[in-house]
Structure 1
């Protein structure tokens, strides 16, 4: 009887696979955008599923690496590493390029003890921020959590429905200047959709307030 062929070792988990993991979480909200991105990357639905399966296996392995080490092993050395002040504490911000979104960076914030505080997409240093003035400007994937919070301050954080999701509540005017109460949902820090609860009585704002 012929021996069983040796199982080929899986290829290393690469930056392309990591981008598929980001997209997999976004498919719940914007399947059409994810489909376009998948074609741009030249991968199949099965490739995306497999990348997500392998990522989850790494996360839940008995001897899983710390998050920062895992990102370094997958994405390589960070493009930048700098100190950032958050309240009374100083953390380290590590950033990696994401080819699918050239104007964004994947950022990991490390506490002084090495614990990861946050991991999400942010605007790349020097890249122009989107002009956010009205509801019509808030299209899927157009902005990050921080950009929306600054544009429509004061914004209130909302609890996300998963570890990779965030929410913001704020008031934004429509194109005619009527303010509306909004609840925006973000995945990996990137805007996915905005729920509009209705006009805010007794207030009138104009674009570019």
Structure 2
């Protein structure tokens, strides 16, 4: 005998649109105002954002979860760009996808040499886009720059362990508007600057 229908509608496919909500959900702790604006631009509710995050976490944690590289391809499609990046002596592939919320950025998955394990996953500047000019603390505004841009602008920046997955930190010194060098800790979510703590 066949099974009786459960009455539950089948889950809709998880899309690029949903994935952007996952990115926003993680950023809401630091910048609720910016997330609210982005949410309105996408035409979604807080409940939609939470539901997208719940479905993403279920996919990631499922005992039958596919490898991260396969998961990203299934959700985001074929990468817009594939680059080769050097990590020490190893050559790795970086897959880049566009994200409509940040037209000058791309979501990057950095693959291990085995091609299925993802070593890093974050937002980076699009290869053809010009990055911001970062000279003083005033230039370091939320969502304006990525981890690698800040690290290049204020060497030697020291990486810090993030407070949660998808979060990173950098410690460095940078001049304020008066030219006085200050010790700074920058916090990033999915590779995008969220906030500064100036000491």
SS state at 1:17 partner: helix
Q: How many residues align?
A: 195
**Other structure's SS at 1:46 match:** helix
Give the structure with higher Rg (CA): 1
Counterparts of 1:128-139 in structure 2, within 5 Å, are: 128-139=130-141
Partner of residue 186 from structure 2, selected from 155, 180, 184:
184
Report the equivalent of 1:10. 11
The partner residue of 2:161 within 159, 162, 165 is 159
Partner residue in 1 for 2:24: 23
**How many angstroms apart in 1 are the aligned matches of 2:91 and 2:165?**
23
Q: 1:4: Cα distance to partner?
A: 8.1
How big is the shift at 1:113?
1.4
Aligned counterpart, 1:200: none
CA drift of 1:5 comes to 7.2
What CA distance in whole angstroms lies between the structure 2 residues aligned with 1:56 and 1:84?
28
TM-score scaled by structure 1? 0.91
TM-score (norm 2): 0.96
Q: Which runs of 5+ in 1 are unaligned?
A: 198-209
Q: Tell me the C-alpha RMSD between the 2 structures.
A: 1.2
Structure 2 residue aligned with 1:35: 36
Partner of 1:65: 66
Structure 1 partner of 2:198: 196
Question: Is 1:149 matched up with 2:171?
Answer: no
